[in-house]
């Protein structure tokens, strides 16, 4: 199991590094594909119904086409509202085929997976995005590593005993502080050197620290949904890890926070 998990983790890392480095259509294509799978995992877990799933696939595809060919935030917002209205239309026309809970779950699945994940692409394609997009990985995977190490070494006080019994207050603090340090090091040795912006390291440290907090929120939220639904994993796509939502639960919420703070602080 360990070797399987390690091998699939390495493959995921290589795919992430390659597509995030290239940006453009390769990243847009992989983001769209991952979003479709994440949406499918969520709607399947929430039992939304096949018809609402198909409507979501159409909405996700339209959203990513607009994102790639236009990138206009007004059009993207119109698409999101349009998907919501389409679900209301389907609910009314097909009544009583779909329960209100199914419609709300389908809208939630569209926003949670596909829309939030799209901010990986949006971060990469913004000004100096080649350097900014890596903060998403630092905030999510860096936080996981730092929190795990600190929690193992000195973790005692359980902060979420019901939701996540293994998480400790010391580990959470270590995750945020460690991620901020990683962000500062990245900013100082890579971003400032490349761009000549001598204040970037501190801004990046702040962005990564906030991202680390959101990373833990994303991880816990995804775990909470699984506990509510009494399921172990969202899927079986990634050997040793589960599904897309199991592996990218923290990155999903870290990406939009990184994008917004990047726009505010670094552009």
Q: Is the peptide bond before 96 cis (omega within 30 degrees of 0)?
A: yes
Three-state SS sequence of 222-234: HHHHHHHHCCCCC
Per-residue model confidence (pLDDT) at position 2: 55
Q: DSSP label at 158?
A: B
Nearby residues of 139 by Cβ (< 8 Å), 6 or more positions away: 179, 183, 207, 208, 210, 211, 212, 214, 215, 254, 257, 258
Instruction: Give the tokens for residue 120.
Output: 């990986």
Q: Are 25 and 258 in contact (CB under 8 A)?
A: no
Displacement of CA 142 from its chain's centroid (Å): 14
Per-residue model confidence (pLDDT) at position 235: 86
Predicted TM-score (pTM) above 0.85: yes
Per-residue model confidence (pLDDT) at position 175: 95
Per-residue model confidence (pLDDT) at position 127: 86
Q: Are 218 and 252 in contact (CB under 8 A)?
A: yes
Q: Are 28 and 68 in contact (CB under 8 A)?
A: yes
Instruction: Give the tokens for residue 208.
Output: 């990564």
Chunked mean pLDDT (size 10), the chain, 267 residues: 68 88 96 96 95 97 96 94 97 96 97 96 93 95 92 89 88 96 95 85 96 95 92 84 88 95 89
Q: DSSP label at 49?
A: -
Residue among 4, 3, 62, 5 at smallest CA distance from 36: 62
In this structure, how many other beta carbons lie within 10 angstroms of the beta carbon of residue 56?
Answer: 26
Residue among 132, 220, 149, 145 at smallest CA distance from 183: 132
Q: Are 171 and 150 in contact (CB under 8 A)?
A: yes
In total, the chain counts a number of residues equal to 267
Per-residue model confidence (pLDDT) at position 95: 95
């Amino acid at each position: 199991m360990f070797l399987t998990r390690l091998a699939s983790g390495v493959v995921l890392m290589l795919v992430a590094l390659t597509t995030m480095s290239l940006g453009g259509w390769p990243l847009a294509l992989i983001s769209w594909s991952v979003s479709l799978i994440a949406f499918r995992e969520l709607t399947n877990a929430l039992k939304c119904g096949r018809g609402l799933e198909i409507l979501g696939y159409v909405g996700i595809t339209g959203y990513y086409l607009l994102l790639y060919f236009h990138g206009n935030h007004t059009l993207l917002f119109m698409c999101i509202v349009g998907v919501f209205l389409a679900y209301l239309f389907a609910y009314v026309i097909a009544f009583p085929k779909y329960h209100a809970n199914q419609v709300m779950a389908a809208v939630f699945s569209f926003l949670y997976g596909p829309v939030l994940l799209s901010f990986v692409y949006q971060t990469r394609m913004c000004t100096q995005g080649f350097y900014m997009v890596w903060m998403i990985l630092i905030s999510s995977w860096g936080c996981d590593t730092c929190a795990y190490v600190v929690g193992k070494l000195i973790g005692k006080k359980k902060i979420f005993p019901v939701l996540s019994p293994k998480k400790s207050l010391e580990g959470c603090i270590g995750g945020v502080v460690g991620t901020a340090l990683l962000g500062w090091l990245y900013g100082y040795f890579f971003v400032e050197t490349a761009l000549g912006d001598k204040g970037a390291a501190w801004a990046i440290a702040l962005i990564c620290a906030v991202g680390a907090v959101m990373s833990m929120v994303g991880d816990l939220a995804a775990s909470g949904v699984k506990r509510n639904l009494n399921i172990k994993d969202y899927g079986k796509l990634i050997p040793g890890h589960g599904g897309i939502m199991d592996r990218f639960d923290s990155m999903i919420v870290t990406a939009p926070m990184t994008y917004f703070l990047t726009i505010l602080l670094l552009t």
